Structure 1
Amino acid sequence: MITFFNGIGACSIGIHVLLEEAGADFENRIIDLANREQFSPDYRAANPKGKVPAILREDGSLVTEFPAIALWIGHTYPEARMLPADFEGQLRVIEIMDYMVSSIHMRGFTFIFAPMKFHPDDPSAQEALRAHGRDQVKIGLDNLSETLGDKDWLLGDFTVAEGALFYMTRWCHQHGIEMPDNIRDHHQRMIARPAVQRALRADGLATPEKSGLAA
């Protein structure tokens, strides 16, 4: 059995969804981020990067970073059909996931959630950084909206990339960030999927307010 290192409310909900979609047999190991368990000696021994998500595979090897884990899930569970068979299709999945994680998450949500890391003693600078983060998220969502268009899923068929967009739309709902209409519709389609509902329930996030059902 694989071990999934997960943090409640973190981006790891996207990986949790993909594991459920894949029908994987896994242990959902919750890391208490609020109490900084990710930096504890025990967790650092398992994952020196001290972050979630991470997957400890049955052979004892560790996989970290959202796009890498998502790619591994897609390849390991081909029957779930979450990764295109051709190289060009896989390339586009990696491309859009990397954009979501490295640009929208790291250059947008990071500044919204933790501006104090960059300006610990300057509240006005923190507010300016939050505003900048919101601008970056809006730019990113607008780009994703163009990619999505009138399709149900980002690249046409359902892929592992939907897990990355889902964790972001949850954050948007929780923090009052406006989403383009088709991105909101994508969120609703995700919420309706049984695998998403299982992941939310397992993480204690299955109430309408917490899950984004009202988004």
Structure 2
Amino acid sequence: MKLYYSPGACSVGIHVLLEEVGKPFDLELVALKDQAQNTPEFRAINPKGKVPVLQRDDGSVLTEFTAIAFWLGAKFPEAKLLPADVDAQADAISFVDYITGTVHPNGFTRQFRASRFTPNPADEPKVVEQGKALAAEYLETIDRTWKGGEWVVPQGYSIADAALFFVEYWAVKRVGMPVPARIEAHLKAMLARPAVQRALAASGMAA
């Protein structure tokens, strides 16, 4: 397997899952800050022009965080990244989709790439502030509707935890915003996992 990633991007969540699986994989850097996602070479791999991308051992390519996370959990059941029960699986996938489809773009992309949300540069500070407010709202919602104990779902550590990890990491380590106590405790628990430590070290990210 090969993971196309960029340091600090949401691809770190998939990197964590690959480390948890424990099967051999390679890393291919796609430097978003250098617009590497827009090169013809990368667009030939993923026409969507974004990471993460997982190239499977048969050469086929899988895109979109939720799909990759689900595939890793289903393909390698011994890693126990997906609950065994289909209803619990749906809960985990629903959580991942909330992170990738709502929290990430509306809460954090607004802060990191405000120019995508307005044609007027003078309005970008307002976009950033809106992103901060939405991120806080979303994390409070996660805290209020938390179903699990230490981990997101009651059945234990899963793909949902790797998804939450990248946004809570951004919130605390990159933005410096306050987060609910449960989210803060989850981040600390994630940072203590060897798989997370390996993924961060490989990307040059602070633990």
Structure 2 residue aligned with 1:171? 170
- Structure 2 CA distance for aligned equivalents of residues 37 and 150 of structure 1: 38
Give matches, 1:118-157, under 5 Å: 118-123=117-122, 125-148=123-146, 151-156=149-154, 157=156
Q: Residue 122 of structure 1: CA displacement?
A: 2.9
Query: CA RMSD for the aligned pairs?
Result: 1.3
Structure 2 residue aligned with 1:114? 113
- Structure 1 CA distance for aligned equivalents of residues 120 and 143 of structure 2: 37
Q: Rate the CA distance shift 1:99–1:22 in 2: closer, same or farther, 3 A.
A: same
Q: Residue deviations 1:100-124, cap 9 Å, x none? A: 111111111111111122334332x
- Structure 1 CA distance for aligned equivalents of residues 166 and 121 of structure 2: 29
- Structure 2 CA distance for aligned equivalents of residues 122 and 194 of structure 1: 42
The alignment of Structure 1 onto Structure 2 pairs a total of residues equal to 205
Structure 1 unaligned runs (5+)? none
**Segments of 4+ moved more than 6 angstroms:** none
- Structure 1 CA distance for aligned equivalents of residues 106 and 200 of structure 2: 26
Q: Residue 150 of structure 1: CA displacement?
A: 7.2
- Structure 2 CA distance for aligned equivalents of residues 136 and 204 of structure 1: 28
> Equivalent residue of 1:63, what SS?
strand
Q: Rate the CA distance shift 1:142–1:13 in 2: closer, same or farther, 3 A.
A: same
| TM-score, with length taken from structure 1 | 0.91
Identity of aligned residues (%): 40
> Equivalent residue of 1:185, what SS?
helix
Structure 2 residue aligned with 1:185? 185
CA contact (8 A) 2:147 2:153 kept: no
Q: Residue 176 of structure 1: CA displacement?
A: 1.4
Q: Residue deviations 1:65-98, cap 9 Å, x none? A: 1110000010111101110112101110111111
CA contact (8 A) 2:2 2:26 kept: yes
